[in-house]
Amino acid sequence: MKKAAAIIVGLVILGVLAIFSMTFTVSFNQVAVQSRFGKVDESSIVREPGLHFRLPFFADSVHHFDTRIQILESPLENIQTVDGQQIVVRGFLLWRVEEEGNGPLAFYQSFADLAAARDTLRTQFRDAMTSLSEYKFDDLLGKDSKLSEAEDGILKRMSASAAEGIHPVTVGVSRIAFKESTTSEVVRRMQARRDTLADSERARGSAEAERIRSHSSGVAEKILAFAAQRAQEIRAEGEELGARYLAEMGEDEQLAIFLLWIDALERSLSDNTTYVIDTADAPWHLLESDGSAGVLPNVDASEQTQ
């Protein structure tokens, strides 16, 4: 009984090993290449996911390849642009195993695995990134950037140079920066440019201030000249009126003196002011009530009567 049980167990194990050696599985995200006695052809490509059969032991060998998108990032590279700027760039490449046609077979014949393909692509991608040197620095950044065009150019170069069985999906430039020494030089140039702009603005401001001062001086001179002319006209008019008044007053000097006294008296008493004065003094002698108020001082009575 024990020998029979051992034989049965051995046969079961042998059967499991035989089944294991005669089958293989392909995942939904894989493609397989099944070689028979080391030979492959188009029929060796297995794309359908699930369980598949093969010849046992070493007759058939199966190689699985992941068909999901892989990412490859380049190291920082120093590149000189067309306008002489030294920049540091880094890019990334999205790629996968080509599933169409004989792509899996070509990949199997070119590379042992994904790691080997990645090493080859890394070198090709670094060479393709040098195409950025065909652009000016301003073309790679800013609102009118041609970065998308540059990325398309890198992708075309990768599609042309990539080994069979590899499909480059997309290329992107993830970093563009100045080298440390270049950054200092750019900052110096920017400072010099700003200093030039500041000097230009100061010169423009000084010229504008000088224009305003000159204009103001011209206007002030015109105003002063007009005022002087008008003052001269007023002075001439006043002198003419004064001469006419003096001529009229000269016809009766006593009346003129009397009117001046009246005017002085009126101005003196216009603010309700109390004066303590001697009525003998002119023109206060006019306040006398003895009848002598109308007698002018130093005037003979006979002349006054006349």
Same domain? 25 vs 99: no
Residue 1 is predicted with a pLDDT of 67
Residue 303 is predicted with a pLDDT of 40
Same domain? 161 vs 74: yes
Same domain? 165 vs 93: yes
Same domain? 14 vs 32: yes
Does residue 158 form part of some domain? yes
DSSP string, 120-154: HHHHHHHHHHGGGGGS-HHHHSSTT--HHHHHHHH
Distance CA 246, CA 256 (A): 9
Same domain? 93 vs 152: yes
Q: Which residues contact 138 (CB under 8 A, 6 or more apart)?
A: 83, 144
Same domain? 103 vs 199: no
Does residue 190 form part of some domain? no
Residue 18 is predicted with a pLDDT of 65
Q: Does the reported pTM lie above 0.85?
A: no
Domain boundary among 251, 274, 295: 251
Q: pLDDT per position in the chain (306 positions), as tens?
A: 677 777 777 777 766 666 667 788 888 899 999 888 888 888 888 988 888 887 776 678 888 899 999 999 988 888 888 888 888 899 999 999 998 888 899 898 888 889 999 999 999 999 999 999 899 888 888 778 889 999 999 999 998 877 778 999 999 999 888 776 555 655 677 788 888 888 888 888 999 998 898 889 888 988 998 998 889 889 888 888 878 777 777 777 777 777 777 777 777 776 666 667 677 777 667 766 654 545 555 544 434 333
Instruction: Return the C-alpha torsion angle 208, 212, 214, 219, nearest 10.
Output: 160
Nearest Cα residue to 162 out of 103, 214, 120:
120
Domain count, the chain: 4
Domain of residue 26 covers 2-66
**CB burial string 91-115: b at 16+ within 10 A, e below:** bebebbbbeeebbbbbbbeebeebe
Residue 299 is predicted with a pLDDT of 45
Residue 251 is predicted with a pLDDT of 73
Residue 51 is predicted with a pLDDT of 85
Domain boundary among 205, 229, 251: 251
Distance CA 227, CA 94 (A): 86
Does residue 187 form part of some domain? no
Residue 266 is predicted with a pLDDT of 76
Same domain? 55 vs 19: yes
Distance CA 230, CA 284 (A): 41
Residue 179 is predicted with a pLDDT of 72
Q: How far apart are the first and last CA of the chain?
A: 190
Same domain? 50 vs 97: no
